[in-house]
Structure 1
């Protein structure tokens, strides 16, 4: 059985680029727990809070529940659920799962495959990360679910060919094109650090995530410093009308550094791109606002 292919093709609810990472997050969590205890089960009532935190931090802005993936992931053949009454899930409702003492774990065939081939776990996790989350979040997400932050993925020629239908190739030129368009300075704060001629701490951020159909084009990119790239991908920062910076009201920072480097950005105009370069397309900005930015924006900060 091709577990990488099955991992890449998890069935998910989808409409107009809507993010639905519920199953991938549960799957990553289950792989992390398997790595710690290959024989253990995940009692829904015991892991519900962990899964809620993952969905809150890495899921879409709209409210959601971990009961949905706990029940539905079994349909993909990688997960099984049992209750006090025997095999099978009682349903996708929180009360049903709690009342029935529902517990889940990776499917028996998958557990056997992971024990035979330990490196398979890291390759499956990498597929989930690549297909559902931006690179800026991979390390911390691995740590959150109990996986190694640096996972090796060695498909080999045959494996790469099997997954070619679902894994697009990135355009390696995008970083240079975006940084040039924004004249090697952060579009939010203007940071432009270098060591000699080499820029440091500057990254090309996708506005609409590559994992969700975002193209490797200048009009889907921003040059951002490492801090603001991470905050942009976590939904703390966004871009509103007139290409002005949005800062989520959910963000709390009392230190002078937090006020200066984050809160004070509210309402500022983006820096760049230079004349002749394409600004971020409205369709990508709309996707980020709906699918990534959390909550309502703070009012503009007085100059």
Structure 2
């Protein structure tokens, strides 16, 4: 059985490009637990807080119950099983019933056996889930919160069979913005090479965001991370928005984040396309943590 393909094909609810990474986040959490504890069952009551935090930080802006993936991942054959303390099947996705019934989830025995036989499989599956559902700037933070160690794994790009990333995207975006952060104008270089600057996707690559400058922004590493976490966003008038849910009391937070609110985004060089409105609209619905500050 090709477990990489099986995990890459996990069924996700989708409509109009909406993000629903609930099952992938549960699988990443379960893989992290496997690394620490083996194939022991995972009590919903023990996992609920961790899953809720993963969904809050890395799921879509709308609220999501941790009971949803805990119950529904069992519908993907051969990955996850759920039963109750008295041996019955899953009581459903409602959090109260999962708690009261002593529900427990565990990796399917076939998958657990494959993980035990191949010490690199955990990390390979994690790379596939991360690449298929999240921007690279978030991968390390997700692994940290899930308790997952993927160091030493094979490169994820060779493992996920799908559309390849286009190598020229990074350089084209940085050149379009003249190697300058479109939000704060940072433009650092070291020995002739730009440092601390990224080519950020507006619509995430994992959700059909194209590798072309019309879907890219040159951002410094800080603002790239905040853009992917939904702290920062864009309006159709090309101004920067800051989430009202972001709190920063120190002068650095005020100067580097809060002061961006309402500021015009730097435009690319003359003759080159700026970010397409449809990608801005997707980011506003699926990533930005509304409401915006006034």
- Normalised by the length of structure 2, the TM-score is 0.97
- Number of equivalent positions: 293
Tell me what 1:22 maps to: 22
Structure 1 residues not aligned, in runs of 5+? none
Q: 1:237 to 1:143 in 2, by over 3 A?
A: same
Name the structure 2 match of 1:200: 195
Aligned-partner Cα distance in 2 for 1:246–1:149: 34
Distance 2:41 2:169 in 1: 43
Structure 2 CA distance for aligned equivalents of residues 256 and 74 of structure 1: 48
Q: Give how far 1:108 is off.
A: 0.7
1:281 aligns with 2:282: no
Q: Which residue of 2 aligns with 1:129?
A: 130
Matching residue of 1:140:
141
- Aligned equivalent of 1:71: 71
Residue 55 (structure 2) pairs with residue 60 (structure 1): no
**1:14-71 deviation per Cα after TM superposition (whole angstroms, max 9, x unaligned):** 0011000000000000000000000322111111111000000000000110101000
What's the counterpart of residue 4 of structure 1? 4
Distance 1:155 1:127 in 2: 6
The farther-off stretch of 40-49 and 132-141 is 40-49
Contact 1:33/1:146 (8 A) holds in 2: yes
Structure 2: distance between partners of 1:110 and 1:179: 42
Are the aligned partners of 1:138 and 1:149 in contact in 2 as well (CA < 8 Å)? Answer: no
Q: What are the within-5 Å matches in structure 2 for residues 106-255 of structure 1?
A: 106-148=107-149, 150-153=151-154, 160=159, 163-164=160-161, 167-255=162-250
1:196-252: CA deviations, max 9, x gaps? 321000000000000000000100000000000000000000001310001001110
Consecutive unaligned residues in structure 2, runs of 5 or more: none
SS in 1 for 2:237: helix
CA distance in 1, matches of 2:82, 2:153: 29
2:286 and 2:49 map into 1 onto residues whose CA distance is: 22
CA distance in 2, matches of 1:243, 1:57: 26
Contact 1:123–1:151 (8 Å) recurs in 2 = no
* Contact 1:60 1:292 (C-alpha < 8 Å) held by counterparts: yes
RMSD between superposed Cα atoms in Å: 1.4
1:94 Cα deviation from its structure 2 partner: 0.9
Comparing 190-199 and 144-153, the one that deviates more: 144-153
Listed one character per residue, the Cα deviations across residues 142-187 of structure 1 (whole Å, up to 9, x for unaligned) are 111111253512689xx85xx53xx210001001110011010000
- Report the 3-state secondary structure (helix = DSSP H, G, I; strand = E; otherwise coil) of the residue aligned with 1:86: coil
Displacement after TM superposition at 1:87 (Å): 4.4
Conserved 8 A contact 1:188-1:224: yes
Task: Give the deviation of 1:278 after TM superposition.
Answer: 0.2
